[in-house]
Chains A and B, each alone.
Chain A
Amino acid sequence: MPNVIEAARLTKTFGAVTAVDRVSFEVRRGEIFGFLGPNGAGKTTTTRMLTGVVPMDGGSVRIFGHDIRKEPVRAKQRFGVVPETSNAYVELTAWQNLMLMGDLYGIGRTHSERRSRDLLETLGLYGRRDQKVRGYSKGMKQRLILAMALLHEPELLFLDEPTSGLDVQSTQTILVLLRDLNTDGTTIFLTTHNMEEANRLCDRIGIIRAGKIVAIDAPERLKTAIDRLHRLEVSFDRPVSADVLAGLDGVAEADRTGDKWRIVTEDPDLVIRSLVAFSSDCGAAILTLNTLAPSLDEVFLRLTGEERP
């Protein structure tokens, strides 16, 4: 699968502070890549360097093979950007903002008008297309800048906190659209604080802390990778001896908590097989069996060093 974004040793300093420190990663074609990190970790600065909005002090960025420093226009022609803060022209109407985008991306007027109509209808703004953006709510502005970013049918979409502070309806509209776009082949680079959103949407996640990448992987793999020891919870329809459970293959510890057993292991697959075999051999039916993987929140807190005592 070819890479759409290739960032290599990306660096940005502000005076004595290194905001982004030799960050390297790739985003593959067709994936949704989540970019997470605490406030001030360097997410927005990294995104701005990737999109060619601010120059980098070191390293390189290639978007669809175009060096963002040497061929910024060709690279920018192929992606759209949705920043966290709406930056549509509030003195213009939604329609005028979209026509401006059409002109800036070199799209013919007829195509611009057809595409604008479709996008505004999808995003529920068509009825308000001739109203100045100044009178829009936050959710409407956010939907409009999404439409502005999508007008030229980009192959890559950068989104910075696209649902931050929005109501449930606007959030849902945007998330459904993002999923549909991805299904149709658009690669998405999503900066977010929302772990649930990242967990549900992203194929892979990169976590940045203090300007450095601390982890990149699929959400489920990140969850299982942060602990060498994994936990399982099991309950049976009759009492079971602790010694018997502790003696099963793969079990490191077995503690009773209420009517359940909490098992610690390095190899959850082996333990599940042992439990099933034990259940079959001694006739103790398994009532519940859960693997207790850490949540993405826990992964984030652990990797960014923000875990509370």
Chain B
Amino acid sequence: MNPAAYGEQARRAWAIARKDIRVYYLKGPVLIFGIFMPVFLFLAFFLGGRDLPLAFLLSGLVGMTLFFTATAVSPAIFPWEGQARTLERLAACPVTIEAIVLGDMIASVLFGIGVTAVTILIAVGLGLPLLHGIVLGVSIPIAACCFSAIGMLLAVPPTNVPSNIMMLSTLLKFPLVFISGIFLPLEQMPAWGLMLAACSPLTYFTDIVRYAFSGAHHFPVMVDIAALTLFALVFTAAAMRLHRRSMPRRI
């Protein structure tokens, strides 16, 4: 067995993911947050803008759900582990920093997909037809990887105080939601708004969800998927590289 081989490191990343799910995700408050946060946001918006079609609102809700759940816990795992000194335990084990980041990302991706699946079931239950299920099924894991990598990037500052990271996370996440065509259709945005929207990966996922439920979309579907894939790859590579630098400063 070569412990440094990619396959072996991937197996160890999976072990870290299972540990994360057990220790950080399968907690009542986390599950409640993951489900209720997007619902409350949706209700707030629904009550304030009743003239928008249900398909538009539910598409936004699905987009928000994946975005918020995939970035809900992952930014805080490194600070928590640094504080509890379990990060030192992981650092002394034969796992690369890339495998640790990958493990945290896998847990976050699974949590995001799980909660989003519930939201999609609710949308279908409310009578929304799922027109392009395969496109949605392909894009959800890619978007989950992308959002989870954003969560890992938010965890880069080498602080072991989770509240600092969560504050930074909130400051970055909410503006992203507002520029991503969730509350305001891309077609109604001014030119500068569209330019901002194009910089947000959430825009492309929301566009795909809208296409999956209503057939309408702003960008070509392949552009949406390619953009999400590119964002996911760049963010993942950046997260791994930056954590390699910052992790020793947490210990």
Contacts and interface: CB of A to CB of B under 8 A. Distances in A.
A171 interface: no
Nearest to B9: A73
A87 B86 contact: yes
A103 B85 contact: no
Interface string B147-182: 000000000000000000000000000000000000
Given A77-B3, A87-B86, A96 B22 contact: yes
User: What is the interface of chain A mostly: helix, strand, loop, or mixed?
Assistant: loop
Nearest to A90: B84
A53 B23 contact: no
Nearest to A71: B4
A81 B16 CA distance: 18
Contacts of A148: 89
B108 interface: no
B22 A104 contact: no
Interface string B12-31: 10111011001100000000
Contacts of A76: 92-94
Contacts of B89: 81, 83, 87-88, 148
B12 A103 contact: yes
Contacts of A90: 84
A148 B9 CA distance: 19
B91 interface: yes
User: What is the interface of chain B mostly: helix, strand, loop, or mixed?
Assistant: helix
Contacts of B3: 73-74, 77, 105-106
A52 B22 contact: no
B8 to A, nearest CB: 6
B95 interface: yes
B4 A74 contact: yes
Contact of A101 (B85, B88, B93): B93
B88 A104 contact: no
Interface in B14-62: 14-16, 18-19, 22-23
Contacts of A104: 12, 15-16, 90, 93-95
Interface string A61-105: 000000000011110110001010101111110001000110111
A10 B92 CA distance: 18
Nearest to B23: A91
A53 B88 contact: yes
Contacts of B91: 52-53
Interface string A132-148: 00000000000000001
B248 interface: yes
Interface of A: 48, 51-55, 71-74, 76-77, 81, 83, 85, 87-92, 96, 100-101, 103-106, 148
Interface of B: 1, 3-4, 8-9, 11-12, 14-16, 18-19, 22-23, 84-86, 88-96, 248, 251
Given A73-B4, A74-B3, A85-B85, 6 more contacts: A73-B94, A87-B88, A88-B89, A103-B15, A105-B94, A106-B1
